[in-house]
Amino acid sequence: MKKDGKDYEEQVDVDTEKETKTFRVPKTSPNDEAGEIVYDFKKVITWLHCSFTVLHTTGYYDVC
């Protein structure tokens, strides 16, 4: 993955026992957070694990 001219290494793990694939994206700047996507082949479900901040009219809230 490349952002702002800098290369970042993503990681993909496959667990054959759990039948899942996990794709990890690293933190790319002080304002960005790392993320993780997990796909479960048995349940046919995708999970997104992330951390980000949302601006609300009464202040900032962490989401995920």
- Tell me the pTM: 0.61
52 pLDDT tier (thresholds 50, 70, 90): low
64 pLDDT tier (thresholds 50, 70, 90): very low
Cα separation of 45 and 23, whole Å?
Answer: 14
Cα separation of 28 and 46, whole Å?
Answer: 23
* Position 9 pLDDT exceeds 70: yes
* Position 13 pLDDT exceeds 90: yes
* Position 15 pLDDT exceeds 70: yes
Residue spans per domain, the chain: 2-63
